[in-house]
């Protein structure tokens, strides 16, 4: 009695947004995503539609008096990714499903069929439209909740997709950083070397024109430093600044140091407080009650996530990456800060230079994620 249906009506769109609550209702680690953030991805105003197309699908159980949504998936085509990789590769994302392999397989089949009809020869995922959004399945490390802006899923998701014949494309890791252990002395020495080399460091500006100027500099630096990232395509400045604006009030400048050389931004460390601790109590809606709950529970935040450590290659000899790690970690443990631990992630398994640096600073792998592929 399972029907796979394309999402075409407002009612079906609401059912699409309802699926995670059914899947994770009793999961103690799940953090409900903000419904408005998910819905915004499918609004015509999303810049993705300037270079991509998609189709949402619902799995409906019609055995009762009224259809119940028991799964969902999105098939997407990102033309920028096709141009970059030189092959007709499609994406799937936004996957959620009850613990029933037949439902999962029907959803995978619907996405694959739609992509095949559009001329795609391979599908990759989970990727929610681009790797700048949520991507990856958690495959190891289910014993703790996700930190802010990190994926989470039941243990049966990777089992279902592998049972359907998909293969691993790439793994990624999240690292755990206890903040009660001092960094090795070489990080402070590296910071001093960077300063003597003419590099200056300062916190991100979070207000007014300063924030806007820093946002544009971050965008330009991000595109230069990560131009060759796997399965990634450049965002427009509009997309980047819109996301930056959504994070503006959440940034802690003490864990967001910036490196400059002759007035040009050449590196940054992006740390964020783990707002998932507060969002867990919001229930996916930032209405007036949700906002009050968020403001109340944010006082319990005692950990943070390091989203990015970035440096232009030519400034690594000036010790910019190590200097940023030194400042970011020092900012997290300064007097009055609540942070007891941090997570750094995610880092692809074959990004050996970053992994070596992270592990040298005391990070240990505690979660593993995976992206899958399948020929069509």
For helices 101-117 and 156-163, the axis angle rounded to 10 degrees is 60
pLDDT in tens, 183-225: 999 999 999 999 999 999 999 999 999 999 999 999 999 988 8
* Range 91-111 average pLDDT: 97
Indicate if 41 and 119 belong to the same structural domain. Answer: yes
Indicate if 62 and 81 belong to the same structural domain. Answer: yes
Structural domain for 308, as ranges: 181-339
Indicate if 223 and 158 belong to the same structural domain. Answer: no
In a domain, 364, yes or no: no
CA distance 71 to 228: 34
Indicate if 113 and 84 belong to the same structural domain. Answer: yes
H or E stretch covering 213 = helix 208-225
Three-state DSSP state, 375: strand
Domain boundary among 137, 171, 205: 171
Residue 65's pLDDT band (cuts 50, 70, 90): confident
Domain boundary among 171, 189, 217: 171
Mean of per-residue pLDDT scores for the chain: 94
According to DSSP, the residues that pair with 59 across neighbouring strands are 4, 71
Q: How many domains does the chain have?
A: 2
CA distance 273 to 294: 13
In a domain, 350, yes or no: no
Rounded to 5°, angle at Cα 251 from 191 and 363: 50
Indicate if 165 and 238 belong to the same structural domain. Answer: no
Domain boundary among 142, 171, 200: 171
Structure tokens at 367: 């979660």
Indicate if 132 and 235 belong to the same structural domain. Answer: no
Does the structure show a pLDDT above 80 at 64? no
> What per-residue confidence (pLDDT) applies to 157?
98
Indicate if 195 and 293 belong to the same structural domain. Answer: yes
> What per-residue confidence (pLDDT) applies to 192?
96
Indicate if 167 and 224 belong to the same structural domain. Answer: no
Instruction: Please name the residues in contact with 230: beta carbons below 8 A apart, sequence gap of 6 or more.
Output: 170, 348
In a domain, 250, yes or no: yes
Residue 3's pLDDT band (cuts 50, 70, 90): very high
Does the structure show a pLDDT above 80 at 58? yes
Backbone φ, ψ for residue 78 (5° rounding):
-105, 100
CATH classification at residue 314: 3.40.630.30
pTM of the model: 0.94
* CB-based contact 174:367 (threshold 8 Å): yes
* CB-based contact 1:61 (threshold 8 Å): yes
* CB-based contact 88:78 (threshold 8 Å): no
Does the structure show a pLDDT above 80 at 236? yes
Does the structure show a pLDDT above 80 at 179? yes
Backbone φ, ψ for residue 274 (5° rounding):
-80, 85
| Side-chain-side CA neighbours of residue 374 (13 Å) | 18
In a domain, 257, yes or no: yes
């Amino acid at each position: 009695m399972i029907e796979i249906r394309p999402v075409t009506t407002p009612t079906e769109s609401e059912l699409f947004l309802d699926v995670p609550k059914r899947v994770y209702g009793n999961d103690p680690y799940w953090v409900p995503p903000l419904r408005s953030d998910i819905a915004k991805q499918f609004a015509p105003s999303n810049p993705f539609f300037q270079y991509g197309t998609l189709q949402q699908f619902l799995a409906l159980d019609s055995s009762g008096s009224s259809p119940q949504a028991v799964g969902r998936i999105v098939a997407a085509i990102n033309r920028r990714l096709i141009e970059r990789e030189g092959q007709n590769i499609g994406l799937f994302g936004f996957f959620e499903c009850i613990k029933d392999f037949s439902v999962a397989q029907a959803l995978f089949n619907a996405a694959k069929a739609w992509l095949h009809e559009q001329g795609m020869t391979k599908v990759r995922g989970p990727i929610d439209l681009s790797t700048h959004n949520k991507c990856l399945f958690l495959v190891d490390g289910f014993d703790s909740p996700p930190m802010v802006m990190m994926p989470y899923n039941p243990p049966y998701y990777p089992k279902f997709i592998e049972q359907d014949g998909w293969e691993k494309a790439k793994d990624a890791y999240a690292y755990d950083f206890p903040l009660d252990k001092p960094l090795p002395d070489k990080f402070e020495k590296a910071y001093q070397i960077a300063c003597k080399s003419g590099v200056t460091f300062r916190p991100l500006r979070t207000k007014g024109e300063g924030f806007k100027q820093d946002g544009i500099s971050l965008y330009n630096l991000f595109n230069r430093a990560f131009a060759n990232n796997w399965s990634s395509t450049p965002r427009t400045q509009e997309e980047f600044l819109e996301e930056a604006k959504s994070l503006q009030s959440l940034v802690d400048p003490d864990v967001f140091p910036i490196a400059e050389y002759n007035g040009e931004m050449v590196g940054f460390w992006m740390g964020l407080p783990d707002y998932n601790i507060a969002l867990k109590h919001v229930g996916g809606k930032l209405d007036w009650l949700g906002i009050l709950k968020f403001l109340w529970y944010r006082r319990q935040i005692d950990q943070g996530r390091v989203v990015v450590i970035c440096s232009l290659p030519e400034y690594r000899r000036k010790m910019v990456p190590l200097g940023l790690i030194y400042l970011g970690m020092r900012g997290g443990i300064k007097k009055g800060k609540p942070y007891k631990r941090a997570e750094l992630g995610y880092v692809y398994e074959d990004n050996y230079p970053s992994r070596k640096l992270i592990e040298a600073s005391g990070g240990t792998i505690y979660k593993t994620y995976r992206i899958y592929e399948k020929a069509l």
